[in-house]
Amino acid sequence: MIMNCAFRRVTISLLAICCLLLMTYPPQSKAAQCKPVKVRIDRLSEGIYYPVIVSGTGSAQIMDQINRTFRHHAENILRTDKKYKKHYEHDQLISAAGPYYAHTQPTIRYNDNCLISVASLDESYTGGAHGMHYEKVYNYDTRSGRQYTLKEIIRKKRELKKVNAYLKKQMIKLKNEGRYDFFLDAFKSVDLDQGQFYFYDDGIVIVFQEYEVAPYSNGIIHLRVPYHVFIKDHE
């Protein structure tokens, strides 16, 4: 009886540890058995589009949950677009350049291994020399519906330090090659709270917005960071 109780306690403890590990890191490419989900792109208004997952998630409820987020993003952009157009009705009377607008266009950055990364490229213009762009990325586990943030992938200070050093090395190399004009002294660290990223087979891609680490002319910059750089024994 005592041995059976002890065995049950050990079994429960092991199951709890396994569940915690599964909740902490995204699925591994070698172990994941999910097919890519099927996605269509819908139009909400002029220049405003959003993705709709039509099949392939863990359940219909999970699919609806993720799709609501995508739709909500587009609806927010539509509200902003209407506000900007209202402002332009006044500003055009003083010969302001226009028209003002807010648009968004989704791109499927990754769709495999039980993960999907959808980037919404938000574009706006409210006068001046050029419009502005911002890439917002939504990362989901397609089995559970869990949304991943950057600080859930880079969880420890030593991991962040390794990621920053790897990125800085890339920036120096790319600048020396003349491909980008990075503000090397300005880059201190990835922003774990507000920073955008998406998955690829062997790691993550860090998204740097306009002006964040380079001039506007360099656009939005994507830099890869393999898992093995910051997660020990990652397969």
Q: What is the pLDDT of residues 191-204, one digit of tens each?
A: 999 999 999 999 99
Q: Where are the alpha helices (DSSP H) in 92-208?
A: 150-153, 157-176
Co-location of 70 and 126 in the same domain: yes
| Collapsed DSSP state (helix, strand, coil) of residue 166 | helix
Model pTM?
Answer: 0.86
pLDDT bucket at 32, cuts 50 / 70 / 90: low
Co-location of 157 and 108 in the same domain: no
CATH number of the domain where residue 49 is located: 3.30.565.40
Instruction: Report pLDDT digits (tens) over 56-102.
Output: 999 999 999 999 999 999 999 999 999 999 999 888 888 778 899 99
Q: Does pLDDT of 114 surpass 90? A: yes
* Number of domains within the chain: 2
Give the closest residue to 123 by CA, choosing from 103, 106, 105, 107. Answer: 103
- Half-sphere exposure of residue 217, counting CA atoms within 13 Å on the CB side? 5
Which of 80, 114, 141 corresponds to the end of one domain? 141
| Collapsed DSSP state (helix, strand, coil) of residue 148 | coil
- Residue 108's domain comprises 38-141
pLDDT bucket at 129, cuts 50 / 70 / 90: confident
**CA-CA distances (angstroms) from residue 118 to 9, 23, 94, 108, 150?**
41, 21, 39, 5, 14
